[in-house]
Structure 1
Amino acid sequence: MVKAVIFDIGNVLIEWQPERYYDALIGPERRQEMFAQVDLHGMNDLIDTGHDFRETVYAWAGKYPEWREEIRHWHDNWLDLATPRIDHSVRLLRALRAKGHPVFALTNFGIGTWAIATPAYDFLNEFDHAYVSGHMGVIKPSPEIYAMVEEHSGLAPGDLLFTDDRIDNISAAQARGWQVHHFTGSQGWADCLVAHGLLTQSEAA
């Protein structure tokens, strides 16, 4: 029985495609060159673990003078990287809450980026609880972060239904006994919620 539904955020509720942003900024060829030379996703993992947002990005930029200005965009224009919202997923979140189902977030998100995102995206303030990696000091798919959710919520692993776009995060949750759905689009997630009896077809539209 599902007692709580857990949403990832990036590419589930908000599109997170930094490569797309940089393609528009400097063109695909230059972007590919930059991402090959600079571990920007590794930099972002530090932020998501709790490192200071601006300090981390600017320090990274300082290590790569050729790409200094481009890397700083990760901080200076972050909302342009984390856009747009995925409207159908937001409707599903709100439909679940309207029916009284507890809904959590479990997300790799920095302290600084969360502070930027929550005023910009109202639905991020609507969870019964948001488990944010930057505040927890550990990121998915570390088993520790899933254990922390279980302990804080007081729910057994099998009571949790979790969706995430990354299969490694899904696999780690499944290994703990969570019910899972690999998010590849909002309609598939809607169908999953209907199949579990949490929403009707019309509520999941």
Structure 2
Amino acid sequence: MSVQAVVFDIGNVLLEWHPERFFDSVIGQERREEMFAEVDLHGMNDRVDRGEGFRDVIYAQAEQTPQWRDEIRIWHDRWIEMAAPAIEHSVRLQTALRAKGVPVFSLTNFGIESFAYAQTHYPFLTNFDRQYVSGHMRCIKPEPQIYQMMEDDCGVAPEGLLFTDDRADNIAMAASRGWQTHLFEGPQGWADRLVAEGLLSADEAA
């Protein structure tokens, strides 16, 4: 089936997301490695992505590990600096697809409050025909439920969806459900795929 809708992940597709890199710049690589080894910060973030309170979860973790209290709170207090910068070529592709009338959806692991906050800094995060945000859905990729929920809601057959994500496990789950997929390794490869599918011209995808 030809592509009926294009589905974007957000972190590391439209917006860079490298917490380790950010903390290296703030507290140094050695202390960052020690903290990440002692505290499951990505597990903490998964709880936010499942819909728990953004500040509540992070500040509770900070109190549970007081030796890292100030550093963990940075995950909340300076979060917008960590979720940066935008991947401008990908943003142009999103804009070009919508200008051509191609339905564009998001499917992202993102907290409720953190996503709303990000939208105030990055207007392109409001530029979707449909948004599927894990915090609101109370499940995260690559769990089958989040894909099923989107399929049930979006009105497009799985084989009509073209999904890009930077994580191979998220892509594998989508492919197992019959979605067309593209493992995002950089915006140029994604641009080339959109051109190959006939969704954009080479000029539109530049």
TM-score category (smaller protein): over 0.9
Residue 30 of structure 1: aligned partner: 31
Residue 192 of structure 1: aligned partner: 193
SS in 2 for 1:162: strand
Residue 60 of structure 2: aligned partner: 59
Q: Which amino acid aligns with 1:124?
A: L
TM-score, structure 2 as length reference: 0.99
Q: Which amino acid aligns with 2:120?
A: P
Q: Distance in 1 between matches of 2:101 and 2:169?
A: 30
Residue 114 of structure 1: aligned partner: 115
Unaligned residue ranges in structure 2 (runs of 5+): none
Report 1:35-184 matches (<5 A): 35-184=36-185
Fraction of identical pairs, as percent = 63
Q: Which amino acid aligns with 1:106?
A: L
Q: Which amino acid aligns with 2:205?
A: A
Moved over 3 A (4+): none
Q: Distance in 1 between matches of 2:36 and 2:197?
A: 40
1:155 deviates by 1.2
1:72 deviates by 0.2
Aligned residues: 205
CA-based RMSD: 0.5
Q: Deviations over 1:150-178 (max 9, x none)?
A: 11012111000000000000001000000
Q: Deviations over 1:53-95 (max 9, x none)?
A: 0000000001111100000000011001100000000000000
Q: Distance in 1 between matches of 2:139 and 2:156?
A: 20
SS in 2 for 1:105: strand
Q: Distance in 2 between matches of 1:9 and 1:129?
A: 13
1:104 deviates by 0.3
Q: Distance in 2 between matches of 1:73 and 1:112?
A: 16
Q: Distance in 2 between matches of 1:95 and 1:13?
A: 14
TM-score, structure 1 as length reference: 0.99
SS in 1 for 2:132: strand
Q: Distance in 1 between matches of 2:181 and 2:92?
A: 20
